[in-house]
Amino acid sequence: MSEVLILVDAVDGKVAKSTGELATFAKAIGKVSAVIFDASLVSQLSAYTIDNVIICNGIDVTKFSPAPVAQAFAQLVASKSAAAVLITSSSRGKEIAGRLAVATNSGIITDASTIDSDLVTTQLVFGGSTTVHAAVTRGTTIATLRSNSIEPIVGSGTPTTEEFTPTISDAAKLGQVISTEPVVKGGRPELTEASIVVSGGRGTNGDFKPVEAFADVLGAAVGASRAATDAGWYPHTHQVGQTGKSVSPQLYVACGISGAIQHRAGMQTSKMIVAINKDSEAPIFELADYGVIGDLFNVLPQATTAIAAKKA
Amino acid sequence: MRIAVCVKQVPDSWAEKKMAGGVLDRASADAVLNDLDEYAVEEALRIVEANSPTKEAGEGSGHTITLISMGPDRATEAIRKALSMGADEAIHICDAGLGGSDALATSLVLSKAISDGGFDLVICGTESTDARMSVIPAMLAERLGWAQLTFAGSVNVDPGATKVSIARSTELGIENMEANFPVVVSVIEKINEPRYPSFKGIMAAKKKTITVKSLIDVGISADQVGSKAAWSNVRDAVLRPARSTGIKVEDGGDGGTKLAEFLAEKRVI
């Protein structure tokens, strides 16, 4: 049976839901082997359809660039004759996948929204205007998958475990992490994993309170346009767009965001889009399933109250 | 210090993009310098200016900035734009065999041009606005065996100590990283505000050298690149139906209530 390697995502010692999505896709292909570099995560992995856990020892990957992770995977791909490697489409995930493709002479597909049992992927390209089906034709299939693409299947057993000590070259240790400043966490869901995202832009004039209040009544994550993060109104880590995060929630609410192409690139594949903007000509309305031409400082508090009343 | 900046000509991000024969139809859209590469050019200029006795890039700074670009003939326009910002010279790898190259082939070609050039530092944008894979900087580091310091929100270079430090900014937060030369850096768009080329810069760019190289010149055989060598293939590409224009209401004092009703009707709440 063909073996599929997945890279486990964890934040602050907690395995992320995206891992379950990778496991769900991988299970349709073959035996699922989840790779971790932190042995303490093992107990959480029975939550998903994972058959085997490979615990990589001897290297603290948080101290380096993504190179050592890619190197460990290259060795596992060879020893397991893996059919595919699935990694979450994050900045780091795509870098690991890129290095792994070079190291193993394999093709790579990034930002897929699905991968089927024949290893054919689906991607939405050009800002969601075109659907592409593609497959790797050489080496091992290396694919990165976007979060929120599939509902993870719950696991039904305890995976087997094995230990592996990769050989990490000096070259892979050249870029070193000296210190870290973790993302300051609020009580809201993680932006890329949230099923609802409410974002604010230039139209907030620096006041995100109505945006946050609306997000909270919906149980949503808060995002921001580049204009808002550049102005220092909201942390850069919440930026949605070309070089910020790409999100694909069930509902995206753009408040006071004109919808420049750079922003659209990060949210265009959301299932439903709502826009609130004073300018009736704002390009964001071209995407919106529901648009309100009006001042967010009037519309949002009213909607927040109305939703709170419906929920009560 | 010798700095290389990788730049790419891409279809204008405002233009409609189409597929032709399984690849992006580049001929049908206006072509521009990838705007994310402008941040890389700007950062290279700032690094040189900070370490130059004259506080200026160019001759007399003791440092050089070389653009490296792979693309068809008309990529010259994008290269000239980056030269007019202040880069010193350019290498343009241009060969009929390169059409349809994937990221693996592109990184191979760029890595050959870089390793031939004796550079200390390579700076890239995080991605191109057409392919948006965001893998080339990491692939270059892997191929060259150099340190990878990517997604930099700030870069500090100490040419004396031959050391580079960056603040890597990703979903995971900020990681302060460092490495010794040679280093591959990619910069995020928050890092700086790219300058507009001055009239003087535009005139000077016309006289700057663009060295055109073929595949043979960089030591790559034709079967390693191009669409035939691509390591993944597109089965089909279909235009998705345009997002049907939704409902648009004017806020007449009840916009918020109507929005809440819409969300309730769609069972979002």
Rg of the Cα atoms in chain A: 21
The share of chain B scoring above pLDDT 70, in percent, equals: 94
Task: Report the CATH number that the domain containing residue A77 is assigned in CATH.
Answer: 3.40.50.620
CA distances from A91 to A144, B133, B135, B204 (A): 10, 10, 9, 37
Q: Minimal Cα–Cα distance from B111 to chain A, Å? A: 12
Domain boundary among the residues A142, A173, A204 is at A173
- Relative to beta strand A160-164, strand A141-145 is unpaired
Question: Is the previous residue joined to B182 through a cis bond, with omega within 30 degrees of 0?
Answer: yes
B181-192 per-position pLDDT tens digit: 999 999 998 899
Does residue A14 sit within a domain?
yes
In this structure, the answer to whether residues A244 and A160 fall within a common structural domain is no
Residue from A77, A84, A80 nearest A104 by CA: A77
- The verdict on a CB contact (< 8 Å) between A175 and B132 is no
Angle between helices A67-80 and B136-144 (to 10 degrees): 80
- The verdict on a CB contact (< 8 Å) between A134 and B146 is no
- The verdict on a CB contact (< 8 Å) between A299 and B256 is yes
Partners of A295 on chain B (C-beta within 8 Å) are 251
B:179-218 residues touching chain A, CB 8 A cutoff: 179-180, 183, 188-190
Task: Please report how many Cα atoms fall inside a 13 Å half-sphere around the Cα of residue A132, on the Cβ side.
Answer: 25
In this structure, the answer to whether residues A145 and A229 fall within a common structural domain is no
Residue from A28, A92, A170, A39 nearest B186 by CA: A92
In this structure, the answer to whether residues A8 and A140 fall within a common structural domain is yes
For residue B117, give every residue at least 6 positions away whose Cβ sits within 8 Å of its Cβ, in sequence order, or none: B2, B4, B66, B68, B91
Task: Measure the CA angle with vertex A186, ends A181 and A192; round to 5°.
Answer: 80
B208-219 per-position pLDDT tens digit: 999 999 999 999
Give the pLDDT band (50/70/90) at residue B268.
confident
Q: Minimal Cα–Cα distance from A135 to chain B, Å? A: 5
The pLDDT assigned to B14 comes to: 59
Provide the domain count of chain A.
2
In this structure, the answer to whether residues A155 and A88 fall within a common structural domain is yes
In this structure, the answer to whether residues A51 and A163 fall within a common structural domain is yes
> DSSP secondary structure string, A230-265?
HTTSS-GGGBBSSSSB----SEEEEES----HHHHT
Instruction: Count CB-CB contacts under 10 A for residue A217.
Output: 20
Q: Which of B150, B231, B246 lies nearest to residue A137, judging by beta carbons?
A: B231
End-to-end CA distance of chain A: 52
Closest residue of A to B259, CA-based? A303
Task: Report the CATH number that the domain containing residue A266 is assigned in CATH.
Answer: 3.40.50.1220
Rounded Cα gap, residues A304 and B256, in angstroms: 8
Rounded Cα gap, residues A229 and B191, in angstroms: 12
Does residue A299 sit within a domain?
yes
For residue B86, give every residue at least 6 positions away whose Cβ sits within 8 Å of its Cβ, in sequence order, or none: B41, B45, B57, B58, B65, B195, B201
pLDDT at A312 over 90: no
pLDDT at B220 over 70: yes
In this structure, the answer to whether residues A128 and A209 fall within a common structural domain is no
Does residue A287 sit within a domain?
yes
Does residue A274 sit within a domain?
yes
Domain boundary among the residues A138, A173, A208 is at A173
In this structure, the answer to whether residues A293 and A149 fall within a common structural domain is no
Closest residue of A to B258, CA-based? A303
The pLDDT assigned to B253 comes to: 92
Tokens for A9?
């995502």
Residue A266's domain spans which residues?
A: 196-311
Partners of A106 on chain B (C-beta within 8 Å) are 231
Which residue is it, tokens 């993009």? B17
Q: Which of A101, A236, A293 lies nearest to residue B248, judging by beta carbons?
A: A293
Rounded Cα gap, residues A150 and A172, in angstroms: 33
Partners of A218 on chain B (C-beta within 8 Å) are 268-269
In this structure, the answer to whether residues A209 and A144 fall within a common structural domain is no
What is the maximum span of chain A, computed from C-alpha positions, in angstroms? 61
Closest residue of A to B143, CA-based? A102
Q: Minimal Cα–Cα distance from B180 to chain A, Å? A: 8
Q: Minimal Cα–Cα distance from B150 to chain A, Å? A: 8
Rounded Cα gap, residues A71 and A172, in angstroms: 8
Q: Minimal Cα–Cα distance from B195 to chain A, Å? A: 17
Q: What b-and-e string marks burial along B36-63, b requiring 16 or more CB atoms within 10 Å of the CB?
A: bbbbbbbbbbbbbbebbeeeebbeebeb
The pLDDT assigned to B231 comes to: 81
Tokens for B27?
């001929």
Q: Which of A92, A133, A294 lies nearest to residue B172, judging by beta carbons?
A: A92
Closest residue of A to B139, CA-based? A99
Give the pLDDT band (50/70/90) at residue B28.
low
- The verdict on a CB contact (< 8 Å) between A65 and B177 is yes
Q: What b-and-e string marks burial along A4-17, b requiring 16 or more CB atoms within 10 Å of the CB?
A: bbbbbbbeeeebbb
Tokens for A112?
């897929």
Rounded Cα gap, residues B122 and B101, in angstroms: 21
In this structure, the answer to whether residues A290 and A204 fall within a common structural domain is yes
Rounded Cα gap, residues A287 and A259, in angstroms: 9
Domains of chain B from N-terminus onward: 2-229 (3.40.50.620)
- The verdict on a CB contact (< 8 Å) between B243 and A178 is no
Does residue A191 sit within a domain?
no
Give the pLDDT band (50/70/90) at residue B109.
very high
What is the maximum span of chain B, computed from C-alpha positions, in angstroms? 69
User: Which amino acid does the sequence have at A206?
Assistant: G
- The verdict on a CB contact (< 8 Å) between A109 and B232 is yes
A220-260 per-position pLDDT tens digit: 999 999 999 989 999 888 999 877 788 989 999 999 999 98
- Relative to beta strand B89-93, strand B64-70 is parallel
Q: Which of B171, B180, B240 lies nearest to residue A90, judging by beta carbons?
A: B171
- Interface ipTM: 0.88
Does residue A302 sit within a domain?
yes
On whether the CB atoms of residues B163 and B133 are closer than 8 A, the answer is no
A5-52 per-position pLDDT tens digit: 999 999 889 999 999 999 999 999 999 999 999 999 999 999 999 999
Rounded Cα gap, residues B221 and B223, in angstroms: 6
The pLDDT assigned to B31 comes to: 83
Rounded Cα gap, residues A284 and A273, in angstroms: 9
In this structure, the answer to whether residues A125 and A226 fall within a common structural domain is no
On whether the CB atoms of residues A29 and A117 are closer than 8 A, the answer is yes
A155-192 per-position pLDDT tens digit: 988 999 999 999 999 999 999 999 998 766 567 888 88
In this structure, the answer to whether residues A154 and A203 fall within a common structural domain is no
Which of A89, A90, A92, A286 to mutate to test binding with chain B, by most B CBs within 10 Å of its CB?
A92
In this structure, the answer to whether residues A146 and A211 fall within a common structural domain is no
Does residue A179 sit within a domain?
no
Q: Which of A97, A181, A289 lies nearest to residue B135, judging by beta carbons?
A: A97
pLDDT at A264 over 70: yes
Give the pLDDT band (50/70/90) at residue B15.
low
On whether the CB atoms of residues A29 and A84 are closer than 8 A, the answer is yes
Q: Minimal Cα–Cα distance from B117 to chain A, Å? A: 20
